[in-house]
Amino acid sequence: MAQDALFERLWNGTAQMEEWTAAVSAGAITPVAENIIAVHTTYFCGSVTVIRTDAGLVFIDTAKPDTASQTLARVRTWDDSPVHTVIYTHGHIDHTSGIQVIDAEADARGIPRPRIIAHRNVRRRMDRYEASHGFNSIVQGQQFNKPGYVYPIGQRRPDEVYDDTLSLTIGGEQIDLFHGRGETDDATFVWLPRRRVLASGDFVIWVFPNAGNPRKVQRYAADWAVALRRMELLKPEVLIPGHGPVIFGEGRAAQVLRDGAEALEHLTRETLRLMNKGATLDQILHTVKAPSKYLEKPYLLPKYDDPEFLVRGIYHRDAGWFDGNPAHLKPARNADLASELARLAGGADKLAERAAILSEEGQTRLAAHLAEFAGAAAPKDERIQAIRAAVLQKCIDGETSLMGKAFFAVYQREARRMG
């Protein structure tokens, strides 16, 4: 199967993923192999892979509420058979929530709904999303700047679950499921041994691994690398990523899997090396970096998550929440500390003015500390809040990742409201 011209430009770094999203936004089918397609509508929705078998269709993931109907309509231009089985690669909504559309179609046809298979922890994740529904809605609204966002819950749960591996034969097609931990603790990658086709789920997402998201549950950088190494050993000829275009060719698939694993192994190894010497989180965060040879790869750009956030995740997984600064063990109220520093500086405006100078000099990390203290010491001061918003704009401008930009922007909007 030949790659198209746009893929080649994505692969060599001369096209951006936004161009690919525009190209697939009407719903695009990629023929993967005989009787296998992948369907895409946007980078931001999980890939949907469909396998035609003698027993009916097998779906790997389902898309999300605003793309599922379009996705299913595309599939129906290719094959009209009943959906026999749906595999969730993990419990995130951009992979699971299209099940409603698939079920509704089955109901309308008067045929049984498909069975759903997933890793055991998908059920636990769905329970957690219900228990933390308010928080998840707030965080997701912050991350994507959608005020008032309500996180969709209530997706149909798996009918069958497995723990480490599961080999299925459906309508003559062998479909092997492997569990690994990475972005989530409930992840599955799917291997079709006869075709040498791998559907990686979100272990491969055409950006730097999303294992450090600041406001999400613990993620697993080291285990993510282990899963990528397992996939590499399978020697796939086609790699269907969780997000972004399909990668054809054993050499390219191996390269993507290997580079991702190496980058994660580097961050894990260096973080643990310093932890084992007694380094504090502060020292580690300012020492461990992802090598540029990985960050330059078009499929490992830090556009979504930030390697620095991954380092935090690696640290916290083994070291708990305490960062090694005794003042943070039982901290004062932030507003009290800010007032005390403002008094020492000769007023909150002094802190803000120094923050403005530092940010102009490019020292945005220091500037953000001072601007936040100034804002906390004088929350109703319009000038200070305006400086705070300007400093945060510099912080936003300096970020490559959606996550970094998004969470600075949350507090910039706050500063603008207060000012």
- Per CB under 5 A, residues contacting Zn ion are 46, 94, 202, 242
Between 158 and 242, CB nearer to Zn ion: 242
Between 96 and 137, CB nearer to Zn ion: 96
Q: How far is the CB of 262 from Zn ion (least distance, A)?
A: 22
The alpha carbon torsion through 211, 212, 216, 218 (nearest 10 deg) reads: 70
Q: How far is the CB of 336 from Zn ion (least distance, A)?
A: 41
Q: How far apart are CA 319 and CA 313, in angstroms?
A: 10
Instruction: From 363, 366, 367, 361, select the one nearest 389 (Cα to Cα).
Output: 367
Q: How far apart are CA 46 and CA 63, in angstroms?
A: 6
CA distances from 182 to 7, 210, 313, 329 (A): 26, 8, 11, 29
Between 202 and 232, CB nearer to Zn ion: 202
Q: How far is the CB of 201 from Zn ion (least distance, A)?
A: 8
DSSP labels, 139-182: HHHHHTT-TT------PPPPSEEESSEEEEEETTEEEEEEEE-S
Between 94 and 381, CB nearer to Zn ion: 94
Q: What token pair was written down for 233?
A: 């050993």
Q: How far is the CB of 95 from Zn ion (least distance, A)?
A: 6
Question: Are 204 and 187 within 8 A, CB to CB?
Answer: no
Q: How far is the CB of 93 from Zn ion (least distance, A)?
A: 9
Between 199 and 392, CB nearer to Zn ion: 199
- The total of other beta-carbon atoms located within 10 Å of residue 400's CB is 15
Between 242 and 307, CB nearer to Zn ion: 242
Q: How far apart are CA 273 and CA 113, in angstroms?
A: 50
Between 236 and 244, CB nearer to Zn ion: 244
Q: How far is the CB of 337 from Zn ion (least distance, A)?
A: 39
Q: How far is the CB of 242 from Zn ion (least distance, A)?
A: 5
Q: How far is the CB of 380 from Zn ion (least distance, A)?
A: 41
Sheet strand arrangement including 115-119 = 28-33, 36-40, 48-53, 56-60, 83-87, 115-119, 160-162
Question: Are 286 and 311 within 8 A, CB to CB?
Answer: no
Between 59 and 315, CB nearer to Zn ion: 59
| DSSP-derived secondary structure letter, 400 | -
Between 40 and 84, CB nearer to Zn ion: 40
Q: How far is the CB of 280 from Zn ion (least distance, A)?
A: 33
Beta bridge partners of 28: 40
Between 84 and 90, CB nearer to Zn ion: 90
CA distances from 83 to 171, 175, 191 (A): 12, 15, 19
Q: Any idea which residue has 């959906």 for tokens?
A: 83
The alpha carbon torsion through 170, 172, 178, 184 (nearest 10 deg) reads: -40
Between 202 and 306, CB nearer to Zn ion: 202
User: Which residue's beta carbon is nearest to the bound Zn ion?
Assistant: 46
Q: How far is the CB of 149 from Zn ion (least distance, A)?
A: 17
Q: How far apart are CA 337 and CA 327, in angstroms?
A: 11
Helix 250-276, helix 221-234: angle, nearest 10: 150
Q: How far apart are CA 144 and CA 382, in angstroms?
A: 27
Q: Which amino acid is at 27?
A: G
Q: How far is the CB of 38 from Zn ion (least distance, A)?
A: 14
